[in-house]
Amino acid sequence: MRKTGGTRLQAGMLSLLGLVFALLLLLDVAYFIHGSLELFPTQEQQGKIKGIAALAGFGFALVELVILTLLRRLCARTHRTRNSAKASTPDGMTGLKTASLRPDSLPPPARGPTESH
């Protein structure tokens, strides 16, 4: 069974959200490392910025984990549905007839040209 349009849309949206939050997390790490954009920040300002950046980074990482978990469940559900559809056919194959797979139903092998001396 193929993915429905709704499932594809959900997977696409979750992937896009995951990408957005991954970029936000990278920007937050850069902000944590480089600190304030002021020319001469005080140690107190730097400490506040590091605390806020660490808290925001934790939040972004948590949201990223939730998004990845939801995406994994969605893909597993789709995969499980696809496998159950394959298992429901009598021969376990999708649309192939078993008679065409027997060796006696195949044509004889073609013989190449023979050399005459």
Tell me if 91 sits within 8 A of 100, measured CB to CB: no
Q: Which residue has the higher pLDDT, 99 or 33?
A: 33
Q: Give the pLDDT of residue 82.
A: 66
- Distance separating alpha carbons of residues 111 and 35, to the nearest angstrom: 77
Q: Kindly report the average pLDDT of the chain as a whole number.
A: 79
Q: How far apart, in whole angstroms, are the C-alpha atoms of residue 56 and residue 65?
A: 14
Total-model pTM: 0.60
pLDDT by residue (tens digit) across 37-87? Answer: 778 888 898 899 999 999 999 999 999 999 999 999 988 887 777 666 666
103: amino acid identity, one letter: P
pLDDT digits (tens, 9 = 90+) for 10-20: 899 999 999 99
